[in-house]
Structure 1
C-alpha cells in the first residue's frame, strides 16, 4: 500500500502532491546518442549495421519519421533541455564561449524535479563546464558526466580515452561534485550508472537523461565490436559501427533490467540522436553531398549540414501503460524543442509560464488528432560568427526553413553567399533538384517564415554571452580552458592535441566575479593534473581594469597572480611570452577565491 503522506515541492509550482499520486506518475528515460544519424540503424535500411535491440524498440514504438534537431551537438542539447530555440539559451555553438547556457534557463530536469521526480544524468552534457551551468545546476541531482564536447577534449580529465576514464560524480544534496576513476568502456559505464540510478529510485517516479558520448569521434571501441565490420569495403568506419553495436547491446540489456524490476510498462522510454551521422558515410569536403560511400538513408549531408542528412534523426517513443506501442509512424514535422512540452503533458505536469517555450506538445499527433495542428514550418539555423565560417550578422547564412513539402536551404559553406536552393522533399527526398527558379513565390514565403525567428534571436546572439562564475562556492577554484575563449576569428583550441605548444592566440574568457575579494589566478599551458612545466619566460594578466606581469620562475608548474577583484562582469585575458617576445594565452587557468 502506498502512504497517503503529502510532500511539499521545492519548485515554482508550490503544489502539494501525495506520495500515492506520485507513484502513479510514469517514469521517463530519455536516451540520446552522439553523432549517430538516421541511417545508422538496421531498421532504417542500413544494409551493413546490425542493431537488433534498437530495431525491436523501433518495431514497438511510436516513430516520428520527420523529426529534426540542430545539425551539431550543443544546440540540440540546449533545445532539448529548455524547449527553446538554441540561440535564445546562450548555447548554440560547440565552443568559443557559445556552448554555455544562460544561468536563468529552466530545464526539463528542473521541471521534473519541481514536480517530485528524482532526476539523474549520465554521460555528455556539453552546455557548460562551470557553475552555475553544469548539469547539477540545472535540476539533475544524481550525475556522472564528462566535461567538454567529447571524451578526450581539452577540458575533459587528462588521459581520458573512452576506457577506464575519470569522470565527475555528483550525489544528491551536494552540487560540488568529485572526480572518480571508473573501470570499463564509457558507454558501458554510463549504462551501468543509469541502471544503478533506476534501481535506487524504482519505487518513486524518476526522470533519467542518458546522453551517450558514443559514437562521437575519435571512434575508440573494443575490437570485438568493430571486428564484424572490418572486412567490408563498403563500410567507411568499422569502429563507428562497432560503437553503435555496443550501444545496441547495452540498450537491450538495460531494457531487460527494466522488465525484471517490473517498471518497464510504466516508463516512457525515448531513443533519439543529436544530429546527422559523422562516420556512416564518406562525403566530399564540403560535407553537403549524397554520400560517396556508405549509407545515409538516401539523404544529402551529414553532421553540421543544413540538408536533411545533418538534422533529421530517429525519434522512438514507447510507453506501454499509456498505449504508446505497436509500431506507428508519424510523418508530421517535429523537433527537439517539442520534447519538453510533450513529456510534461504525458506526465500530467503543468508548465509554468517562465519556461517560455518555442516547442509544442506532440501529443495531438500521437493521438491522431491532426486537424487544427498548430505548426506549418520549422526553422533551423547553423549560427556562425566572426570566429566561424559564416558571419553571425548575416540573417540567412546557413539556414533551413522546412514545411511538409518544402526545404529552403542556404548553405553558406557551399556558396559563401546568399544562394537559396529549394527542394520538394516529397518528390525529391535526396534534395538533388533545386526548384527555386520554378517556385519563386515559395522561396519568398519561406524567407518570410524566417523573419520572426530572426527578430527574436538576433538581439541575443549579437549582444550577449553566457559568463563563467569566478568565486562560486559550488565550484572554487574555477578551472578555465581555452575552449571557452571568445575569439574574433578562428576556432579556439578545444582538444589536447591543439594545446601542446605555445599558442599564438590571445583571447578573453567572459567571466562574472560572483563575490568581491582576493583571488589567486594561476596560468598553465596544460591541466594541473598533468604536472607539466610552463614553457615561457614572462606572464601577464588583464582583468577588471587590472594589469599585472611577472617573470616565470624556472621549472614553474603554474604562474600565480594574486589580485583583488570587484564583483561583476569582466573579461580575463592571459599572456605567456617566449624568449622572442611572442605571446599567446594560457590554455588553462585556475581562479580561486581566497577570502
Structure 2
C-alpha cells in the first residue's frame, strides 16, 4: 500500500507535533492541521535569472537558500506568456479547453482557490490579476470582450489585493505610486512601491489566519516590464525618476523580487509555521526579449513569448522543512500540475477519474513511491490571441519531453543539442531514433487534441 505523507491521514496515528509516519524515519510537521501552502510566481523570469540555476547577473540569495534547503526542479515549464500560464495554473487545464482571449478568465471556471476553500483553507491572493478585462476601448473587437472575465471577488479567495483588476486604462502603476483593488476598494499609494504593498498584505493575512490552514497565491508583478527603479535603486531617491524606464533597472527588479520572497518566508518563520508550510516558487514564462543574462554556460537571451526553452523553461523550487529533502529533481512539471499537487498536499487528492490535465508532483516532493507514473510529456496549446498587442503572435501546438520537442507542423527539435530550435528535423531526415520519438510525441498531439475536443 502506498504511504502518502498526508497530514490529514497522519491525524489517525500521531498525537505530537512531529512524529514518525508509518514506519518511515522522516517526521511530518504540525500533524494537528493541514499544511499551509504558499505559491509564489514571478512575472517574466527564465531559469537564467537565479543563481541556483547557474545565473550570474543577479543576486538572489533568498531563492538560492530556498533551493539549497529544498527541491529544485530542472525541467519545469510554463506557457510562453503570462495569461496563458496563469489560466492553466489556476484551473489545471490546458489552454485549448477554456481559452477565451488574452487577459480574460471565464467567470464560470473553478480555480485552485475554490478547491482549497472547499477543503477548509483560508485563501489569499495578492499581486497581479489581469483576468477580468484587458482590451482598451478603442481596440477592434474590444466591445465583445471588455469586462467579461472573472472578478477577483469571485475567484475563490477570501482576501485579495490586486493590480490590474479592472479595465486596462484604469490600472495605473504596478510599481511606484501604485494602484490596486483591495477587497473591493480601489487604492492608491503615492510615494510607495506596489510590491511592498502586496507583501505587507500577505504578511498581515498570514498573521491574522495563523491559527487556520491558509493558502497564499502571490502572482508577483516583478520583474515584468516596465523596467523601473525599485526602492533599492539609487534613482529611487529622486521622485521624478521613479517611473523612468530603462533595461538597466532589470537587475534591481530581479533582486527586489528576491527580497520580497525573503520577506514572506521570514514572516512564516516569525509565526513559527515554517515546518508546516509548503512553499512553491515558479515563474509564468521566460525573461523579456530585451534582456540578456550571464550564466555559468554563457549569455542567455530572454525568450518571453517564444515556444522554445527560452520562453518556457522556468524555475521551480519547493521548500518544506522536514517533509522535502534537499536535492534536484529531473521530473517534468507543467503549469497544470500545481492544482492536483496542492490538493494532495492538503490531504484531499483529486479522484483518479478527475477531468483535469494536471498530474500531481506531490510524491516527487516528499520522496514517496507513487502508483501513478511520472509525467512523460508536456502538451502545449499556445495562442494568446485575440487581444490588444497580441496580433503579432501565432499559434503553436506542441508536445515535448526533457529532450525532444515536436510541433503539430511536423518540425522536431533536439532541445538538448539545439536549445534555440534553429535546426528542425523533418520526417524525411529522420533516423531510427527520431522516427520513434516523432511517433511517440505525435500520438500525444493526436490524443490531446481529441480528448480536449471531446470535453468542449
Alpha-carbon offset, residue 433 of structure 1 = 4.1
Equivalent runs, 1:295-310 vs 2, <5 Å: 302-310=303-311
Equivalent runs, 1:161-200 vs 2, <5 Å: 162-170=175-183, 177-182=184-189, 184-200=192-208
1:354–1:81 distance in 2 versus 1, CA, 3 Å? farther
Work out which of the residue numbers 387, 394, 412 in structure 2 matches 1:422: 412
Partner SS state of residue 163, structure 1: coil
With normalisation by structure 2, the TM-score equals 0.78
Paired residue for 2:115? 111
C-alpha separation in 1, matches of 2:379 and 2:420: 19
Paired residue for 2:163? 146
Equivalent runs, 1:441-456 vs 2, <5 Å: 441-456=436-451
Partner SS state of residue 170, structure 2: coil
Equivalent runs, 1:178-327 vs 2, <5 Å: 178-182=185-189, 184-222=192-230, 224-225=232-233, 237-278=247-288, 281-282=291-292, 302-321=303-322, 323-326=323-326
Alpha-carbon offset, residue 315 of structure 1 = 0.6
Alpha-carbon offset, residue 405 of structure 1 = 3.1
Paired residue for 2:33? 24
Is the Cα contact below 8 Å between 1:37 and 1:313 reproduced in 2? yes
Deviations 1:283-335 (A, max 9, x none): xxxxxxxxxx75597767611111111111111111114x2142x11112111
Moved more, 348-357 or 196-205: 348-357
Deviations 1:548-594 (A, max 9, x none): xxxxxxxxxxxxxxxxxxxxxxxxxxxxxxxxxxxxxxxxxxxxxxx
Q: Which has the larger radius of gyration?
A: 1
Deviations 1:367-387 (A, max 9, x none): 253786153221112226577
Is the Cα contact below 8 Å between 2:289 and 2:302 reproduced in 1? no
Structure with bigger strand share is: 1
Paired residue for 1:361? 360
Paired residue for 2:7? none
Q: Does the alignment pair 1:400 with 2:398?
A: yes
1:371–1:311 distance in 2 versus 1, CA, 3 Å? same
Alpha-carbon offset, residue 179 of structure 1 = 1.0
C-alpha separation in 2, matches of 1:261 and 1:354: 38
Give aligned pairs, total.
394
Deviations 1:483-523 (A, max 9, x none): xxxxxxxxxxxxxxxxxxxxxxxxxxxxxxxxxxxxxxxxx
Deviations 1:117-169 (A, max 9, x none): 111100112222457712220211100112269xxx83433x43521222111
Which of the pair has the greater relative contact order for Cα pairs under 8 Å at 6+ separation? Answer: 2
Deviations 1:333-369 (A, max 9, x none): 1111111111111110143699621001112333253
Query: Over aligned residues, Cα RMSD in angstroms?
Result: 3.1
Which 5+ residue runs of structure 2 have no aligned equivalent?
1-29, 134-146, 236-245
Structure with bigger helix share is: 2
Partner SS state of residue 218, structure 1: coil
